């Protein structure tokens, strides 16, 4: 969030909450068509030219992440040029199973099945639509857990709101801040 616009607030428990209010989200393309339909339905008095401009902006929003700056560049650079090390010098890990770590010394090197799987899973996570990510996180955190792996308290109602709208805050309770 270093280059984003954020708003800080404190909830009723005294926990600071950070909301990212940056209007552009590279992964929001599954939400854009729904927002377009809602906006067109609400604003029935739009001119044909305004509707065309709105559709153009929508298409631009959807395809810029793929044909503008490459979202996959960091993973591919780590795989092709840096023996599995990311830009911060850490080995690639499978984002869906952190126990799987890239190892250039494995039999077969970069063509080893485990290494290829780790690269593929990093690419899949990078290209995963935000709606899918939010759904996965919501249902992962929903059942039986009160905190995340870093002791960040899970607020169920806020998580549901974020899952439905894409807008939500990050709680910074004391334990979470100490862990990060």
pTM for the full predicted model: 0.47
Residues 6+ apart with CB under 8 A from 118: 84, 92, 93, 94, 100, 101, 102
**Of residues 100, 59, 129, 10, the one with CA closest to residue 137:** 129
Q: Tell me how far apart the terminal alpha carbons of the chain are, to the nearest angstrom.
A: 15
**Of residues 79, 169, 96, 94, the one with CA closest to residue 132:** 96
pLDDT digits (tens, 9 = 90+) for 18-44: 887 776 555 555 666 667 667 766 777
Q: How confident is the model at residue 152 (pLDDT cuts 50, 70, 90)?
A: confident
Domain ranges of the chain: 1-26+131-180, 28-69, 73-127
Joined tokens for residue 54: 């709105």
**Residue 105 C-beta-side C-alpha neighbours within 13 Å:** 1
């Amino acid at each position: 969030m270093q280059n984003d616009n954020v708003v800080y607030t404190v909830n009723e428990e005294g926990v600071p909450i950070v909301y990212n209010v940056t209007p552009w989200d590279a992964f929001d393309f599954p939400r854009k068509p729904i927002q377009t339909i809602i906006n067109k339905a609400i604003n029935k008095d739009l001119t044909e030219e305004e509707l065309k401009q709105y559709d153009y902006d929508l298409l631009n929003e959807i395809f810029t992440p793929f044909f503008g700056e490459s979202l996959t560049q960091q993973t591919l650079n780590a795989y092709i040029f840096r023996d599995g090390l990311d830009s911060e010098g850490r080995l690639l890990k499978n984002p869906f199973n952190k126990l799987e770590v890239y190892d250039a010394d494995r039999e077969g090197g970069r063509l080893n099945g485990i290494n290829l799987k780790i690269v593929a899973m990093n690419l899949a996570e990078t290209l995963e639509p935000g709606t899918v990510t939010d759904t996965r996180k919501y249902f992962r955190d929903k059942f039986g857990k009160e905190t995340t792996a870093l002791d960040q308290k899970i607020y169920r109602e806020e998580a549901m709101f974020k899952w439905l709208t894409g807008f939500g805050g990050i709680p910074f309770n004391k334990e979470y801040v100490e862990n990060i």
